[in-house]
Amino acid sequence: MKKGLFFLIAVVFALHIDAKTIAISYFDNSSGDAKYNALSKGIADMLITDLSKVKGVTIVEREKLEKLLQEIKLGQSKYFDQSTAQKLGKGLGAQNILTGSFYILDNIIRLDARLIDVQTGGVIFAEQVSGNKNNFFSLHQQLANLLAKNINVPYSPDLSGLYKAGEEVTLKEVVNFSNALELQDVGMSTDAKQILEKTIKDNPKFRFAKNKLEDIKEWLKKVELQREQLILEELKNTINSLDANSDKFGMQISNIWTTLLSSYKYNQLLSFNNSIRKMKIDEKKKVYGEASPMTLGEMLLFYDCSALSALKKHEEVIDAAKLFITNYPTSLYFQSVKMNLETAIKELEQRSNGKKAIESKLSAESLDAYVTYLNKLEWKSNLQFVNEKEYKRYLQLYKSQVLSASPEVIKNWDESIKFNEFTEFFNVAQNFNDTKTMEDIITACKIVFTESDDQDRTFTLENSLEDYKTKTAEKSEKIKELETVSKKGSKAELEKVIKWLFSNQQYNRPDLLLEICERYTSTYKPSNEDDIDVSLAAWDGLISLTAKQKSIEEARKHFETLKSKADDYKVNQKDYDKAIREINQDLKNLQNDYSNYIKNVKDLDPMIQVLENYATIYNENHQYSDEAYTRKQLLDLFKLEGEKEQLQLFLLTMSYYNLGYFDNVKKTATILKEKYPAGSYTESVSSITSYLPQ
């Protein structure tokens, strides 16, 4: 018996030791399209929910991940980054952490994932799945299968109860599900519930969404019950002291209404009214004596309307106001209730109408943000620092976010010089000898720009491309010559290029010119005045081209090397000193240009402007839930500072206010006042919070 018990304990212990604890982090959006941001959580949540049902592995709950992220404030850190993943894994007590990213272009979605050993930081496996964006379940199952296979645990999607063979969800439905998660995380569970209800109505087989909806419903019930109990506890003594048969009843109840209303305790007022109704008092009872026309039922409904209106519960205002107008058409409060009704109807109509045409507006705003960002590359001060690798990154953004725009999006794009803005990247492509992209731009223009003036402009672009191709053909021999000189040119051949360094820049091959200057300076020392002129020109070219093509730091090192070679230039000290001063000044100017390039282009995420544009559109169209979620993303994902952060905190406060999320108003206003006690918006939010419902 003892042996059997010992064996059983040993088996359980061995199973416990072998059990793996895995965290699944949020997935990075590498698409450059802000409307897919929420998928970051959605993909992770679906994997967590699914794999939690697998035996032999413990999956860390998403709520724990969300709590940790709120504590450590990652900002713009990428979850796919190994060091970030390690940090998260350790914080969650996991042995391994799955990180990932997704990329969406046209109808294709690609999911990249890798499993990281939290202790060592090593990559256990890296996998990629891709397919049609509207067959999301199949992609999800592929990824779950790969993870299960690599950690050697059994996985069978048909046994999870979350989906069956042949069932599918579209990317749009998964995005809606993901948006609901985001709203739930920022305390907007009612809005999350509405999104999930609509998603399930569109696709009843989306069981991930069904389960999440049930969880939210259960949570909301508990919260509402707790709130009701707290309010009733506060009002209990007051209600118990009321006597409906007393002559003072009208005065007592009126005092309570006035007190609750003037102290902005609208929820307590509604609960108080419900408690009065439960007392089964005749609603025809005259509140202020027989001489007064006001009845109890009339006053209860009037105060209901007032409280519900203040709480921004527009649907409930409409129900209560309709009932009041039907039952009490001659009431003294008729106009007041009617005004609340009209305000509620107007707001709901604006929200409904705003939702209809918002997609094309959002796409146009996204287009505008990316065009504004990418067109900065046209500035010579920025373009001089863009190398081939960076160009490919900018090109990917241009193709996915600008070149793919439809005629409808172009139509909604509020830009007076659309054609010029849309095609500025043509010159950037030309700078990198990218005729394929130039041709793609012309093809896109023929599709999206149909006005006669724009057709003329497209024709001009075509002519420009043909001229460029002709000149490129003419220059090809010269470029071949430069390639030969850069690899095995004689001293005389190198000098010939260096003497005319500026004119050779027209061939758009700074890499070859840099190689030529580098070969000359490392191989030849000046022996006479002519050599000195060429040598200084070569050093000048080496330093400036290195600053542009590689790094300012490396250029500085070359400059210090030149300064250390002063003895080589004694024959013409005056020219050497002049060259040192000029190169030093050029480096300073390049440093300033590079700092601006880093700040305004390279390190600037265009998604900041995209999200700002989205939030503005949401606000203008009364989509306050989407606005609040978007502004929260701006504050959580990006390190905004000073006036920018203040503005977003203020606007987030206002969007919460418009939604009637008064606890969130208080929290956000508190953050703003604590961070910026003398800020531009501090007085305004202080005023708003002074009159909030309690």
21-168: CATH topology is Rossmann fold (3.40.50)
**555's tokens:** 């250029």
Residue 508's contacts (CB-CB under 8 Å, 6 or more residues apart) are 431, 432, 433
What whole-number distance in Å separates Cα of residue 435 and Cα of residue 673? 54
β-partners of residue 59 are: 22
Considering the domain 242-355, what is its CATH architecture? Alpha Horseshoe (1.25)
Q: How many CB atoms lie within 10 A of CB 189?
A: 18
Q: What is the pLDDT of residues 219-237, one digit of tens each?
A: 888 888 887 777 677 677 7
Which amino acid appears at position 455 of this protein? Q
Q: For position 125, what pLDDT does the model report? A: 84
Q: What is the pLDDT of residues 50-74, one digit of tens each?
A: 888 888 788 889 888 888 887 776 6
With tokens 């005319």, the residue in question is: 500
Q: In terms of Cα–Cα distance, which of 279, 278, 281 is closest to 296?
A: 281
20-29: strand order across its sheet: 57-59, 20-29, 96-105, 108-117, 123-132
Which amino acid appears at position 649 of this protein? L
Pair 402, 422: CB distance under 8 Å: yes
Pair 595, 19: CB distance under 8 Å: no
Q: What is the pLDDT of residues 665-683, one digit of tens each?
A: 999 999 999 999 999 999 9
The answer to whether residue 392 scores a pLDDT higher than 50 is yes
What whole-number distance in Å separates Cα of residue 605 and Cα of residue 638? 9
Which amino acid appears at position 547 of this protein? A
Q: For position 19, what pLDDT does the model report? A: 59
Q: What is the mean pLDDT of residues 651-664?
A: 93
What whole-number distance in Å separates Cα of residue 365 and Cα of residue 610? 7
Q: What is the pLDDT of residues 282-295, one digit of tens each?
A: 899 888 777 778 89
List Cα–Cα distances, 382 to 428, 506, 549, in angstroms. 11, 17, 12
Q: For position 592, what pLDDT does the model report? A: 95
What whole-number distance in Å separates Cα of residue 243 and Cα of residue 89? 62
Q: What is the pLDDT of residues 597-650, one digit of tens each?
A: 998 899 888 989 999 999 999 999 999 999 999 999 899 888 888 899 999 999
Element (H, E) at 489: none
What CATH class has 607-690?
mainly alpha
Q: What is the mean pLDDT of residues 516-530?
A: 90
Pair 629, 182: CB distance under 8 Å: yes
Q: How far is CA 312 from the centre of its chain?
A: 28
What whole-number distance in Å separates Cα of residue 560 and Cα of residue 572? 19
What whole-number distance in Å separates Cα of residue 521 and Cα of residue 401? 44
End-to-end CA separation in angstroms for the chain: 65
Q: Which residue has the higher pLDDT, 238 or 91?
A: 91
